[in-house]
C-alpha cells in the first residue's frame, strides 16, 4: 500500500497561499491546481494568467525597466548579492518546496538550490567587468578611438520547465536583471511555486516593484502572447515547442536563447575505471528520475568490457533506494505526472515488444508512490524502437557495444540532438580528444553532467536540434544586452585623404603605412 504523503516541515498551505498571491495575475479569474507527484494530491492553486495579464505584465515590466537600467550597476549587484545570501539562508525551505511540487528526490532539489546561488555568485563577481565600457582596437590607432557598450535589451521573457523549476527560472533571471533588464517569467503550470518563491526572495533582497513579473499559465494559451510583449525570449523545454517559439521570435526580429531536448550519449572506453564509471553513469542516467535534459539515455561500451560493465551497472541500478521522503534516502525522483509516467512506460513496452532485452526495471512502483518508475536498463535496441532516437526523459537507458572508438563517436553523433555527452577513461588526455570530436554543446570526461554544468565561466547549451544560444559564462550575461560601438575620429576623416590630398596620392601613402602597422602590437 502506498504510504500517506507527509508535507515537508517548512511548508504549509498558508505559505503556498502567500506564494500564489505573488503572481502578477488579476484576481477573480481561473486558477491552476498544483498536484504533488508523491501522492497526486492537490496542494494548492495559483491564479491562471490570461492574455490581458500578459499584456499588463509586459507594460509594467517595461515601465520599471527604465529606472532600473539607470540604476548604478553597483546597486544592482547589491540587490543580487542579498538575494544570493537569502537563497543560502532559506535553502531548506526551497528544497522542501521543490520536492513537494516537483516530486523530486532531495539530492536534485538540493543541487538546483545551490546551483542558483552559485550562478548568482558568478555573475555578481564577473558581471561588472563584462558590462563595463571597453576600449577597442581600430584600423588607424591614434586617429580613431572606439568604445564598446552593452545596453539592456529591455524586457526579457523567460518560459521555464517543470523539471528544475527553481534554478532554470532564477538562473536566467539573475543575469538578465544584472544587465539592466526587466523580466516576465512564465513558470510551467505544474510547478509554479518555485519561481514564485524565487521572486519573493528577490523582492526581499530589494528588487524594485514591477521589475520581475511572474505569470503562471498554460504555454499553449499565453506563450505566443508573451513573445509579443518582450524584447528577448529565453526558453527551456522541448525541441518541438522551441522551434515554434524561435520562429515567432524571428518574425518579430527579437533574439532568443533556447535549451532544448537531448538524446545524450556516454562512451565507456576499455580502460575506464568501473569503480568510478558505474556510480557516475548511474547518477547521470537516473538524476531526477531521468527528467534532466543532460541525462544519459545511451551508453556505448567497448566490447572488451561490455559484459562486465553491463552486469555491474544492472546490479548497481537494482540497488538504488527509491522512497518518497523529504530526506536524502532516495536516489530516484517521481515522474512529474500520470501522462509522463505513461509515456516513459510506453517507450519501454514498445522496445520490448520489438525485441529489446529488458535487463532490469521496466515497470512502475506504486508501492512507493503513484508516479514512480523503476531504474530500467535495456539492450538490443535498434531504430525500429521509439526510444532508440526519441528522448524518453525517464529513468531508462540503453546499452550498446562498439569495437573501435571511432565507431563509438560516429554512433553517438548519429542523432539530430547534441546537448550533453560524456566519455569515461583513465587516460584524460585521450578522453578530452574524444570529447572534442562529439557533436554536443558540453561533454564531461569521467563525469556525467555536474562538471560541465558547474563550470559557470564556460558556456552551456546544445548543438543541432538541442538549442540556440548559451547560458553561463560571458555569453549567458551578454546575450541579454545590445552591443553598441561608439567611435571618435581625430585630425583626418577615416578612410579619406586629408584636405587637399588626392585619393591617388592617399592610396600610395596608405598602403605602405598599413603594411607597417601590421607589425606593431597595436594593430588588429
| Strands of the 481-489 sheet, one edge to the other | 134-136, 144-152, 481-489
CA–CA distance, 305 with 324 (Å, rounded to integer): 35
* Joined grid coordinates for residue 13: 498551505
Q: Is 293 a catalytic residue?
A: yes
Q: What is the 3-state secondary structure (H, E, C) of 87-155?
A: HHHCHHHHHHHHHHHHCCCHHHHHHHHHHHHHHHHHHHHHHHHHHCCEEECCCCECCEEEEEEEEECCE
Of 48, 189, 259, 297, catalytic: 259
| C-alpha closest to that of 169 among 241, 259, 262, 301 | 259
Note whether 77 and 227 are within 8 A (CB): no
CA–CA distance, 50 with 43 (Å, rounded to integer): 22
| C-alpha closest to that of 252 among 273, 229, 269 | 229
Q: Is 42 a catalytic residue?
A: no
Q: What length does the chain have?
A: 524
**Phi and psi angles of residue 503, each rounded to the nearest 5 degrees, phi first:** -65, -35
3-class DSSP state of 395: coil
Of 293, 297, 388, 391, catalytic: 293
* Joined grid coordinates for residue 56: 499588463
CA–CA distance, 123 with 174 (Å, rounded to integer): 8
CA–CA distance, 485 with 493 (Å, rounded to integer): 18
Q: Which residues pair with 158 in a beta bridge?
A: 185, 234
3-class DSSP state of 418: strand
The residues, any chain, with a CB within 8 Å of residue 65's CB and separated by 6 or more, are 152, 154, 155, 180, 181, 182, 211
* Angle subtended by helix axes 51-70 and 219-229, to nearest 10: 40
Taking the alpha carbons of 386, 391, 397, 403 in that order, is the dihedral positive or negative?
Answer: positive
* Angle subtended by helix axes 106-131 and 91-102, to nearest 10: 120
Q: What is the 3-state secondary structure (H, E, C) of 211-251?
A: CEEECCCCHHHHHHHHHHHCCEEEEECCHHHHHHHHHHHHH
* Joined grid coordinates for residue 65: 525597466
Q: Which residues are catalytic?
A: 259, 293
Amino acid at each position: 500500500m502506498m504510504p500517506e504523503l507527509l508535507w515537508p516541515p517548512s511548508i504549509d498551505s498558508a505559505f503556498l497561499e502567500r506564494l500564489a498571491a505573488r503572481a502578477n495575475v488579476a484576481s477573480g479569474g481561473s486558477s491552476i491546481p498544483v498536484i504533488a507527484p508523491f501522492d497526486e494530491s492537490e496542494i494548492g492553486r495559483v491564479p491562471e494568467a490570461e492574455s490581458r495579464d500578459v499584456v499588463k505584465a509586459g507594460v509594467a515590466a517595461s515601465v520599471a525597466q527604465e529606472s532600473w537600467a539607470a540604476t548604478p550597476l553597483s546597486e544592482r549587484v547589491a540587490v543580487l548579492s542579498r538575494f544570493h545570501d537569502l537563497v543560502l539562508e532559506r535553502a531548506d525551505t526551497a528544497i522542501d518546496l521543490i520536492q513537494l511540487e516537483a516530486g523530486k528526490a532531495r539530492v536534485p532539489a538540493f543541487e538546483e538550490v545551490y546551483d542558483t546561488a552559485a550562478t548568482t555568485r558568478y555573475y555578481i563577481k564577473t558581471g561588472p567587468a563584462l558590462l563595463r565600457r571597453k576600449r577597442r582596437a581600430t584600423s588607424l590607432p591614434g586617429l580613431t578611438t572606439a568604445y564598446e557598450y552593452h545596453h539592456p535589451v529591455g524586457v526579457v521573457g523567460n518560459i521555464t520547465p517543470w523539471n528544475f523549476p527553481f534554478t532554470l527560472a532564477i538562473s536566467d533571471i539573475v543575469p538578465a536583471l544584472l544587465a539592466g533588464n526587466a523580466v516576465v517569467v512564465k513558470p510551467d503550470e505544474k510547478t509554479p511555486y518555485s519561481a514564485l518563491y524565487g521572486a519573493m526572495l528577490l523582492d526581499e533582497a530589494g528588487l524594485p516593484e514591477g521589475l520581475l513579473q511572474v505569470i503562471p499559465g498554460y504555454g499553449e494559451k499565453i506563450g505566443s502572447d508573451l513573445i509579443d510583449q518582450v524584447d528577448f525570449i529565453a526558453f527551456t523545454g522541448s525541441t518541438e515547442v522551441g522551434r515554434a517559439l524561435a520562429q515567432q521570435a524571428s518574425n518579430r526580429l527579437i533574439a532568443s536563447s533556447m535549451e532544448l531536448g537531448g538524446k545524450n550519449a556516454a562512451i565507456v572506453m576499455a580502460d575506464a575505471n568501473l569503480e568510478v564509471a558505474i556510480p557516475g553513469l548511474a547518477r547521470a542516467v537516473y538524476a531526477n528520475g531521468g527528467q534532466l535534459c543532460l541525462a544519459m539515455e545511451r551508453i556505448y561500451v567497448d566490447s572488451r568490457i561490455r559484459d562486465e560493465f553491463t552486469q555491474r551497472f544492472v546490479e548497481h541500478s537494482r540497488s538504488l533506494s527509491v522512497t518518497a521522503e523529504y530526506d536524502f534516502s532516495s536516489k530516484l525522483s517521481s515522474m512529474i505526472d500520470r501522462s509522463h509516467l505513461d509515456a516513459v512506460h510506453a517507450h519501454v513496452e514498445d522496445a520490448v515488444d520489438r525485441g529489446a532485452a529488458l535487463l532490469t526495471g521496466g515497470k512502475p512502483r506504486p508501492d512507493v508512490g503513484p508516479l514512480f518508475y523503476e531504474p530500467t536498463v535495456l539492450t538490443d535496441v535498434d531504430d525500429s524502437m521509439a526510444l532508440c532516437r526519441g528522448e524518453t526523459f525517464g529513468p531508462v537507458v540503453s546499452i550498446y557495444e562498439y569495437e573501435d572508438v571511432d565507431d563509438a563517436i560516429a554512433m553517438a553523433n548519429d542523432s539530430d540532438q547534441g546537448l550533453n555527452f560524456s566519455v569515461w577513461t583513465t587516460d584524460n588526455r585521450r578522453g578530452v580528444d574524444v570529447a572534442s570530436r562529439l557533436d554536443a554543446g558540453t561533454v564531461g570526461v569521467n563525469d556525467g553532467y555536474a562538471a560541465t554544468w558547474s563550470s559557470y565561466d564556460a558556456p552551456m547549451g546544445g548543438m543541432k536540434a538541442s538549442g540556440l544560444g548559451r547560458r553561463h559564462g560571458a555569453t549567458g550575461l551578454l546575450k541579454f544586452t545590445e552591443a553598441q560601438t561608439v567611435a571618435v575620429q581625430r585630425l583626418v576623416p577615416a578612410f579619406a585623404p586629408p584636405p587637399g590630398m588626392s585619393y591617388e596620392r592617399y592610396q600610395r601613402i596608405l598602403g605602405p603605412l598599413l603594411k607597417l602597422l601590421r607589425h606593431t602590437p597595436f594593430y588588429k
